[in-house]
Structure 1
Amino acid sequence: MYRKFIATVAAASIAITALGSAPAYADDRDVARALAAILGIAVVGKIIHDNNKKKEREVTRRHTAPVYTAPHRYNQPRVQQRRYNQHIQPRPLPRHVRNDKLLPSQCFRSFDTRSGPVRMFGNRCLQNNFRHANRLPQHCKVRVKTYNGKRTGYQARCLRDAGYRLARG
């Protein structure tokens, strides 16, 4: 809208300039007419400017305002109170924590030989205290000569490499 107003003022000034190129004689009436014309153009420009300001103040929304909705409530499951002397059954251990490959610590012994001490799991102790003694890897089985005779057992490093561990406690 400003462009139209400026274009109108520019056109009016060019027209007045063209009229002003006539011989310079002016009486009071011509000066009054020119001032009235300029005043009229200024009033029209002010009206247009005020009208544009009113339009700028008005806000038009093309989308609806968001509506607040309360979030869903989470109801926690109720935990039953333990009754006095009520035994809780323990959950089974996961597969990777099972004690199938936990060897009893009392079977881990050090035997003295001519070449130095040998640390191994005694065969007879494992047969008595380890349920899966028959499943132990046979390539870990060794026979050692000690000062008290021959001993049969399983090398600790070999069993560790096969996935067996020493049960602590």
Structure 2
Amino acid sequence: MHRKFIATIVAAALAVTAIGSAPARADEDLLRALAAIAGIAIVGKVIHDRNERKKEQQAVTRNTHRAPVYQNHNRSYDLKPRPLPHRANRRLLPGECLRSSDTRDGRVRYFGRSCLEDRYKHVEKLPKACKLRVKVPGYAYRRTGYDAYCLRQNGYQLARR
């Protein structure tokens, strides 16, 4: 629609310039100047309206793709992932409980029992076959724990947090 309007304004401007070849009077010059100013104002208004419509369309498009924010009683809630249930974390063993000791038979990697009791809820569910006692040279007593390789073979993993 605005293309037809602009074409009309341009045709009128050409017609006014063609008439200008005759000797001009002051009244005709004033009329031409006013017509030119009115034409420029109308074209400017058309361009302004077109830009406003584009902004409105962009605002509508932007708002439809925004992530929802839930509000209830003047409180807004952030969408955070839920923590995993305890049964999913049951097979992750704490990394700070992993020990490594040199024995007469070589290096042994194990999870210390007292550390697991402090930091792991399911110590009683660990396989009994993985339980071991390590005699560490330089210590008067044996250390109790669970063999890391055996636990890994039974599906347990080291939690790397």
**TM-score, structure 1 normalization:** 0.47
- TM-score (structure 2 length as normaliser): 0.49
- Structure with the bigger percentage of helix: 2
More strand by share: 2
Please tell me whether Structure 1 or Structure 2 has the larger radius of gyration of its CA atoms: 1
